Amino acid sequence: MSINRWIPLESNPEVLNKWSEKAGLLTARAAFQDVYGLDPELLAMVNQPVKAVVLLFPITDALEAKRREEDQKITNEGPSVLDSTVLWIKQTIPNACGTIGLLHALANSNVELAPNSPLARFIEECKAKTPEERAKHLETTPLFANIHAEAASGGQTAVPTDLDTDLHFTCFVQAGSPGAYRIVELDGRRAGPVDRGALEKDLLTDVAKIVKETYVSNTSSVQFSMVALGGPPEV
């Protein structure tokens, strides 16, 4: 049986907040907002505390080669010690990387969710499952399909007739314990969570450095977009 292809989500805080609120995020407590650039003065415009960062990036030959190298290392060395503390979902639904990026952000950031909401139910149902079982659950659950379709259709650009895309979402969160936090990249296309090193300053600042060194430096494309799940919007 074939798996439905989902409409790609825009990297747009309005779209991501609409999806998240319908799924159960209490957006009066936390919300997605644009990160306008990687320089310190632009990072300072983002409401703190930042709980997660979602990056949309172009898939290029250089980035794919680096991904394969890192995935081989994960496969050879086995799961990291942080794997049990993060909820990671393998991506099996075409074009669902935006939804999986959102799920990774929301499930690993301790944000407040409405009780018995689709998000709260899905996260609870996934805790005891493997990443592959979580992927199958996402394929079959009715919790998000309508939410995704509505949010994807409500963006600023027209829904594409060709659903193939060379852009992809990934997510960064912090995991571990106070004083020993690690930055973890969660991408459903990978072989597992990617440990990006110790938290040095704060999540947004450290992720901006990782994005510069790992992503921007490996392509001449400017098709990047970054949003942060941070403090509530200013009234």
pLDDT of residue 157: 44
Considering 97, 126, 148, 171, which one is annotated as catalytic?
97
Domain contains 74: yes
- How many separate domains does the chain show? 1
Domain contains 5: no
Domain contains 7: no
88-109 pLDDT, tens digit per residue, is 999 988 878 888 899 999 999 9
Domain contains 3: no
Domain contains 56: yes
d(CA 13, CA 28): 14
Considering 104, 126, 168, 171, which one is annotated as catalytic?
168
Instruction: Output the average pLDDT for the chain.
Output: 86
Query: Has 148 been annotated as catalytic?
Result: no
The range of the structural domain enclosing residue 187 comes to 13-230
Domain contains 8: no
Give the DSSP letter of residue 211. I
**For residue 37, what pLDDT band results from cuts at 50, 70 and 90?**
very high
d(CA 68, CA 78): 15
Q: What is the CATH number of the domain that holds 198?
A: 3.40.532.10
One-letter amino acid of 235: V
pTM across the whole model: 0.89
Beta strand extents in the chain (DSSP E only): 31-35, 52-58, 167-175, 182-186, 194-198, 225-230
Mean pLDDT confidence for 182-193: 94
